[in-house]
Chain A
Amino acid sequence: DALLGCHRSYRSRPTHGIGKFKYLLPKEAPKKKKEKVQMKEIDAGTEYQYGDVNIQMTSYDVCLVEHFAQYVHRLCNRLSIRVNESYAMPTKTNEVLFMEERGSKMQLDAVLTTHQRVVQIRGLSSTFAPILLETIQSNQPEGVHLLMKQHTEADFKSRLKSRPELEELRAEMS
């Protein structure tokens, strides 16, 4: 740019390109484009290894669930089990109403929020799976519901926003 800005470029002279400085500055990282949310391939697993396994922890208490998820993640790191992802599912809110003893009116009792954290692991060997299960169960805190299952496409799709317009158009087309 310094060269183009200057209208006198004596390319034969030894002072050619004397004002250049951009080569001295540190290299900037290229501008990264927005990464699309794509589904990673689901591993089916061999006969001696389980494929992608989801450990889902659900509870009403956020702190317990998060700390337990952290504990499970660190345990897997320590036991050199590969952790694909560790994410949170959207929270569900429930309004609990109960009937009053006298009268037929529904009385609002509480608003409960259900939180869920998922740790996805891969390459769990069949001999080690019961040991891991035992360890996680013995450290399960109160009120935290544990669920271990294979990862499916439906599980991934439940994290994405619903697109009613796309569904409608697709129904109309077919």
Chain B
Amino acid sequence: PSRAQPKKKKKVDVRKEQAQKERMKKKLKKLEKAAPELIPIEDFITPLKYSESNRVRSLPTLSPEESERRVLLLKKWCLFKQKQDEAEKKAIKALVESQQEALRELRLESEELYEAAIRRDEGLFPFERDGPSYTPPLPGYDPPEGKCIDITKVYTQ
């Protein structure tokens, strides 16, 4: 009996291990077949409470002078924005032109400097900038103590 038992253990173990490995491989293949999904974005899903029908709001009627005033204001705003946009386009064109001219002059001066200027700047990225604030930071402001907890919903596939 002592001769037979160790042999059985080895065979059974190896077969069991192989069977286990195959099962795991099959599971892995099945999981890998399923394509990865994108995390759904909560911004684009309107909550149900906003699509209820009793949330309709009736606007007050406008007098003709008021509506006239608003239309004229809209036109003035449109014109202002158009001028702003034109100025921006003009500024970009001017920048590009002056840059091209400078590069041409540099080329006439020396080829090496021109080549070095044309190359891309590795230090440009990554570039970070905070947006401007309405008011400058208050001097000597003591913020209250507290903490932030991240409660984002974690999606798993």
Chain B: minimal CB distance from A62 (Å): 6
Contact with A along B35-75 (1 / 0, CB 8 A): 11111111110000000000000000000000000000000
Extra 12 A-B pairs, beta carbons < 8 Å, given A111-B151, A131-B95, A163-B36: A36-B35, A38-B35, A92-B150, A93-B151, A130-B124, A131-B92, A131-B99, A135-B92, A140-B131, A148-B126, A150-B126, A161-B38
13 sample A-B contacts, Cβ–Cβ < 8 Å, listed by A number = A36-B35, A48-B119, A91-B152, A92-B152, A94-B149, A99-B144, A127-B118, A145-B131, A146-B130, A149-B126, A161-B38, A162-B156, A173-B24
Give B55-106 interface residues, CB cut-off 8 Å to A.
88, 92, 95-96, 99, 103
User: Do residues B131 and A143 form an inter-chain contact, with CB atoms below 8 A?
Assistant: yes
Assess whether B110 is interfacial by the CB under 8 Å rule.
no
Which chain A positions have C-beta within 8 A of B148? 94-97
Contact with B along A126-147 (1 / 0, CB 8 A): 1111110111010011111111
User: Do residues A50 and B149 form an inter-chain contact, with CB atoms below 8 A?
Assistant: no
**Chain B interface: which of A6-14, A19-27, A164-172?**
A164-172
User: Do residues B125 and A148 form an inter-chain contact, with CB atoms below 8 A?
Assistant: yes
Shortest Cβ distance from B99 into A: residue: A127
User: Do residues B125 and A53 form an inter-chain contact, with CB atoms below 8 A?
Assistant: yes
User: Do residues A90 and B41 form an inter-chain contact, with CB atoms below 8 A?
Assistant: yes
The 4 closest A-B pairs by CB, nearest first: A98-B146, A149-B126, A126-B120, A36-B35
Q: A92-B150, A97-B146 are in contact. Are A169 and B119 (CB under 8 A)?
A: no
What count of chain B residues pass the 8 Å CB interface test?
Answer: 51
Question: Which residues of A line the B interface, CB within 8 A?
Answer: 36-38, 45, 47-50, 53, 59, 62, 79, 88-99, 101, 106, 109, 111, 115, 126-131, 133-135, 137, 140-150, 159-166, 169-170, 172-173
Which chain B positions have C-beta within 8 A of A141? 131
Bound CA span A29–B7, Å: 64
Q: A48-B118, A48-B120, A98-B145 are in contact. Are A161 and B156 (CB under 8 A)?
A: yes
Bound CA span A89–B44, Å: 11
User: Do residues A163 and B157 form an inter-chain contact, with CB atoms below 8 A?
Assistant: yes
For B24, B124, B133, the residue with the greatest tally of chain A CB atoms inside 10 Å of its CB is B124
Shortest Cβ distance from B91 into A: residue: A135
Assess whether B141 is interfacial by the CB under 8 Å rule.
no
Which chain A positions have C-beta within 8 A of B111? none
Shortest Cβ distance from A162 into B: residue: B156
Assess whether B109 is interfacial by the CB under 8 Å rule.
no
User: Do residues B144 and A143 form an inter-chain contact, with CB atoms below 8 A?
Assistant: no
Q: A88-B44, A145-B130 are in contact. Are A161 and B146 (CB under 8 A)?
A: no
User: Do residues B157 and A140 form an inter-chain contact, with CB atoms below 8 A?
Assistant: no
User: Do residues B127 and A148 form an inter-chain contact, with CB atoms below 8 A?
Assistant: yes
Q: A149-B126, A173-B24 are in contact. Are A94 and B120 (CB under 8 A)?
A: no
Bound CA span A150–B125, Å: 7
Shortest Cβ distance from A172 into B: residue: B24
Chain B: minimal CB distance from A150 (Å): 5
